[in-house]
Amino acid sequence: MRNHELFPYDRSLLLRMVLVSVFTPLLVIAIVVGAILALPNPFQFVLAGVIVCGATMATWERNRLAGGAVLREQDAPELFATVDRLCAVADLPRPELVLERESQPNSWIVAAPGRRPRLHVTKPLLELLDRNELQAVLAHELSHLASRDAAVMTVVGMPGTVLLAGARRASRAGWWLIIVGAMIAAAIGSFSRLGTNALSRYRELAADQGAAAITGHPSALASALLKVSSALAQLPTADLRAVAARDGFHLVATGANQTSWRALNRLLNRFSATHPPLARRLAALEQLERHAQRARPAL
């Protein structure tokens, strides 16, 4: 059940979820069908091959780079205790916890239909944040579950993520037909994510607000965002590009280019941001902190 005191209905978020759920699949189908009809025979087969092989390669690369392990309670008792407390406050069932073997400090949540949601955290994130900051980040991810935008992003946003990751792998091939097909697949993946990116930018602000409502300490989330952003800026670009296709799901975007073609990036740059600017998130959290300070009784 949704806790309406902590997570009041957000009509703007609901409208975005509905529009993305309806129009993004239609846009992808229209682009793919149009590309197949417009392309000569060799490219039709190449495009189909890139889409199929790209999904396979993206899954393989995802497993190779991350190798996330589902945690048991005895593996991380403090982490489980923290999540249990937050779930009790938010009136949510506990998701599965997955520890990811990535060099970036980040978190995200995946909610596939018919499956228990999975809350992913990386080891560098756990090492970087203190207890209050980690609690705020986990509350942020749980807010995505409460608002149900995690399910929409998983169902609608994952195909674009797979296409982009698969195109990145295929672009390394030496055969020009494969490279052209990869460019087409990347374009389709990028356009398919225009709607989900707009949803992602808004849902991050909503989840920040939800985290502040759960924990009562917006400043802890602001501190965590600053730490994670600073740590990401110090990582090698190659490490960030390996996970950039999944930025729409991350707590903080890696900031790496999602394709290898600058012209395509420039064309879509205005609409391709997956997160609102950090300064905007911090300003909103600062305002929430001022309200929280006024609401707290004087000692």
Just list the catalytic residues: 141
The helices-and-strands tally (H runs, E runs) of the chain is 12, 4
Work out the number of other CB atoms within 10 angstroms of the CB of residue 255: 16
Q: Rounded to the nearest 10 degrees, what angle do helices 218-233 and 131-146 cross at?
A: 100
Give yes or no for a contact between 98 and 68, defined as CB atoms under 8 angstroms apart. yes
CA dist., res. 46 & res. 119, Å (int): 36
CA dist., res. 42 & res. 4, Å (int): 55
CA dist., res. 109 & res. 152, Å (int): 12
The strand pairing partners of 119, in sequence order, are 97, 109
